[in-house]
Structure 1
Amino acid sequence: MGKRRELFVDEYLVDTLEGDLSYRLHAPQAQELVIRQDKPWEGNASSYHTVFKDGDTYRMYYRGHDFTLEGGRLGFTHGECTCYAESKDGIHWEKPELGLFEFDGSKKNNIVWMGAGSHNFSPFVDERPDCPEDERLKATGGLAHNGGMRVFKSADGTKWEQVGEQAVITEGAFDSANIAFWDKALGKYRTYFRVFTAGTTTAKIWKPAGIRAIRTATSDDLVNWTDFEDLTYGDSPPQQMYTNNVVSYSRAPHILMGFPMRYVERGWSPSMKALPDLENRELRSQASLRYGTALTETQFMTSRDGVAFTRWDEAFLRPGVERKDSWYYGHNNVAWNMALTSSRFEDAEDELSFYAEAGGWHGSGKTLTRHTLRQDGFVSIHSTLKGGRLTTRPITFSGSELELNLSTSAIGYVKVECLTPAGAVIDTFGIEQADETFGDALDRKVTWEERTGLKKLSGKPIRLRFTLSDADLYSFRFV
């Protein structure tokens, strides 16, 4: 593992768990409303947000669209467009007047793209080492009915042009947020896009069947794609993945993380009728039952090869407290990627920020709420006070010190032993020498009788054995 950070988001490094230890999925916490998408071109059907940092600026892109519901039919007030916002800190956002595209007779708007691809225009920073500067930003977009997934390029993030004249992937449904990015660990581009498990979804025939699913492929140039495979989820039961939101995690780039929106059709029931805004729910159902009775939330999944994912069946971001703009089809769809933002507490560590949609279908526009999570805080090895032990598989590291991302109670702790691959305790690194490590920190150093030095074990295969009591262990690395 060298010096790379390892998270406990799967069982990859874990050999045994003993005692009162378990994997615990953690949920991001709602913060403030950061954006109101209330302009006529943004509308109440805005969606499919992407967020990334480019230099010292966070860029956000999203679809602008607006629904009408009259006479039992779903209509639209205007065509789709791609809108833009930016921020210096990931908390305070601005929507600049760019003057690029005309809407209703004026160019005073934040539109950066119109036409093919606007339904799900998904930009990213192209991190390929030899990427030309004048096309350092790329995007995907497109639907089956207009040919499939297209690729776009930009030098500044606001002026875009299509790469080539044709779609680069034509087999698929694509009627969702389809994303691509340069995978540093693989040394290729990856894409993840919408398919259905049965039926036909082409430019001429739209008869999807089965359930919504995710397909992936790889490419050296974003144009020619190979290695098409449908994602697998181990023993997780079949579920409808409406989006994928797969990203390479910045603090551990060898781990891919997905935040798909789970889609659930529940039909009418007493509980459905008790949910907020029944009048509008019934109005939507006149156009299609699922418009009023489908519900959505965000899940969490990870992969080390890009195809086989560990998917948590529990929700990562639930619909939450019932209020008017919640518990509906499309609610809590999170943006692709996350931002690193300051904590509201002085001197606290920076946090990960996610951006989730609310307030769709009716009214003047949607809102976006920021949710925060500790860095690496997706899943922990959780211990009760009674405690337990975790033993890793044999690992080889480089460095001289071990750091833990952990959270304990005042009485809780983590102790670490170093073992041979056969399981024998290495002299001076046993449980008797291990100091109790406690607190709430991202990089707390581990000590043995006040010693941190591990240099003599560097480059040699060892196991780590963690003893926990009333603690959560999120990740570790050697430095």
Structure 2
Amino acid sequence: MVGEPDPQQMGLGMHSRMCYAVSENGFDWEKPSVGLEADGRKTNIVLGDVKSGAHGLTVLEDPNASSEDERFKGLFTRMWDGNKNRQIVAAHSPDGIRWEVYDDLPCVGSDGPRLCDVHIVAVDPYSHEYVAYTRHFLMTAGATRTRFDRNETFSRPYEPGNTASYSQRRIWKISSADFIHWSEPVLLAASDEDEDNLDDSFYGMVPYRVGSQHIAPLCVFRAVDNEMDVQLLHSRDGLRWRRGMGRRPFLDCRGEGHWDAHMVTIVNPPIEIDDELLFFHSGTDFHHDWWLVGQREGIDHPEALDPLGCGAAFGMGVARLRKDGYAGMFANQYRKGIVTTHAMISLGNKLSINAACGEPGSIHVEVLNRDDQVIGSCEEARCDAFTGDATDHIVTWEGDPTVPAGRGQDQYWRKLRFTLRNAELFSFRFTDSAEDPTPFKTEKEW
């Protein structure tokens, strides 16, 4: 190709289409006939046309929808006039196929219908508000200079130590009671100059709950390599987030020869099936933007020289993880490991653990009150050793799984002391509650 790539010829323009596909198992997908037509032909395109694109649609199923027509809601970026104009649009659908755009444009704080092109929507299970995890439309404005020619490079200049010119992509949270009027963005996650590379920035994140913890796969863009991997964030309150795994990839792109060689992203919570978590993710052997601006920047790479003919492709994959297998407490066979939890409140009278033991290996559990006294017969000496590999093993003491539970302080306050040898503990949970605790009761009221 000579000159700038022609989006109309390549099909790589920003007039994106949202299409509909279904699967019974997540692996075998079909594009069904949905009763829609485009240019006289049957199609599975449900949003976007030649006049304006529908880019980056994310969808939630609304448990509190006011009508069946609003069962599904979504945000997307509408682009037109060769991507010179764009705005955020809210839409609703009864089935994910027939979409109607709301009459009013979403209003984000004092900035109107303006966000960047990545936003992941959900319903907060506690406040019942709509939330979106997104990027601010002014994410690079601090670095803008009148003398800076935007066409010189895809990325803005970055000035270390100058917070006023911070030009990296960051993750913000907005919330709404009606899906139209949204709060001012609150910053959740940003790269830092001490631990991250100067070219690292955050593309998108998808928070969800695991027990009392918040987990969020985080898409991290590395501008120099022009690649993207997925790392992990974790939080106790959903607002203050910390990096996990030493900032190493949770899901990495696999390199040359693979369909997901240069970019991978996760934009949905995992689906739990049996003892596994399935993470549906996208990937490509394209780099992030060389195909788009490579010729203009003089990049000598097939994606820049011939984007349509270089053979690159985008696809969807599945990554598997053991249930609750994000992290574990491990002890080897030479020294036993002892882990004692903080005191916690629970009315559960059985204890389930998710753990794996080597050969030979074992786990024993002791249940204590706040004064470190054994509750009932749940002492280490009586614990039946766990020596296997299971995600839901009920702990027993001389064959009895009962953990004394009730309203007395010595029963609903408890600690757990795990003794491990050549074993790894991933998670635990109390089950079979002795009674349903009234929400929000204080200790004195119990």
Contact 2:171 2:204 in 1 (8 A): yes
State the distance in 2 between where 1:396 and 1:84 align.
45
Count of residues paired in the alignment: 369
State the distance in 2 between where 1:457 and 1:138 align.
43
Contact 2:169 2:190 in 1 (8 A): no
Equivalent position of 2:418 in the other structure: 466
State the distance in 1 between where 2:355 and 2:399 align.
19
Cα deviation digits, residues 20-51 of structure 1 (max 9, x gap): xxxxxxxxxxxxxxxxxxxxxxxxxxxxxxxx
Give TM-score scaled by structure 2 length. Answer: 0.73
State the distance in 2 between where 1:471 and 1:155 align.
49
State the distance in 1 between where 2:330 and 2:94 align.
45
Cα deviation digits, residues 259-306 of structure 1 (max 9, x gap): 12111133xxxxxxxxxxxxxxxxxxxxxxxxxx31211111223322
State the distance in 1 between where 2:191 and 2:421 align.
30
Which residue of the other structure, out of 250, 262, 268, is the alignment partner of 1:336? 268
**CA shift for structure 1 position 136:** 0.8
SS at match of 2:69: helix
SS at match of 1:297: strand
Equivalent position of 1:429 in the other structure: 378
**CA shift for structure 1 position 325:** 3.7
State the distance in 1 between where 2:112 and 2:354 align.
43
Contact 1:333 1:357 in 2 (8 A): yes
Equivalent AA in structure 1 for residue 377 of structure 2: T
Equivalent position of 1:168 in the other structure: 107
Larger Rg: 2
State the distance in 2 between where 1:117 and 1:200 align.
28
What root-mean-square deviation, in Å, do the aligned CA atoms of Structure 1 and Structure 2 show?
3.2
State the distance in 2 between where 1:309 and 1:72 align.
44
Give TM-score scaled by structure 1 length. Answer: 0.69
Contact 2:168 2:202 in 1 (8 A): no
Which residue of the other structure, out of 299, 304, 317, is the alignment partner of 1:369? 317
**CA shift for structure 1 position 227:** 5.8
1:373-388 matches, cutoff 5 A: 373-385=321-333, 386-388=335-337
State the distance in 2 between where 1:297 and 1:462 align.
40
Verify: 1:110 aligned to 2:44, yes or no: yes
Please say which of residues 229-238 and 384-393 is displaced more in the overlay.
Answer: 229-238
State the distance in 2 between where 1:341 and 1:442 align.
12
Equivalent AA in structure 2 for residue 305 of structure 1: D
1:63-142 matches, cutoff 5 A: 70-71=1-2, 73-77=4-8, 78=11, 79-102=15-38, 105-114=39-48, 118-128=54-64, 131-142=66-77
State the distance in 1 between where 2:378 and 2:184 align.
45
Equivalent AA in structure 2 for residue 467 of structure 1: T
State the distance in 2 between where 1:81 and 1:366 align.
14
* Bigger fraction of residues in strand: 1
Please say which of residues 332-341 and 86-95 is displaced more in the overlay.
Answer: 332-341
Equivalent AA in structure 2 for residue 377 of structure 1: G
Verify: 1:156 aligned to 2:95, yes or no: yes
Distance 1:445 1:160, change over 3 A: same
State the distance in 2 between where 1:424 and 1:84 align.
58
**CA shift for structure 1 position 106:** 4.6
Distance 1:80 1:321, change over 3 A: closer
Verify: 1:408 aligned to 2:349, yes or no: no
State the distance in 2 between where 1:418 and 1:75 align.
68
Please say which of residues 435-444 and 420-429 is displaced more in the overlay.
Answer: 420-429
Verify: 1:186 aligned to 2:127, yes or no: yes
**CA shift for structure 1 position 230:** 0.3
Verify: 1:243 aligned to 2:203, yes or no: yes
Verify: 1:226 aligned to 2:183, yes or no: yes
Structure 1 gaps, min length 5 = 1-69, 267-292, 343-348
1:290-301 matches, cutoff 5 A: 293-301=225-233
State the distance in 1 between where 2:314 and 2:72 align.
26
**CA shift for structure 1 position 178:** 0.5
SS at match of 2:73: strand
Q: What's the % identity of the aligned pairs?
A: 25
Equivalent AA in structure 1 for residue 404 of structure 2: K
Contact 1:233 1:308 in 2 (8 A): no
Equivalent position of 2:393 in the other structure: 444
Cα deviation digits, residues 203-253 of structure 1 (max 9, x gap): xx989652110000222222222263101479993574443231424x64x
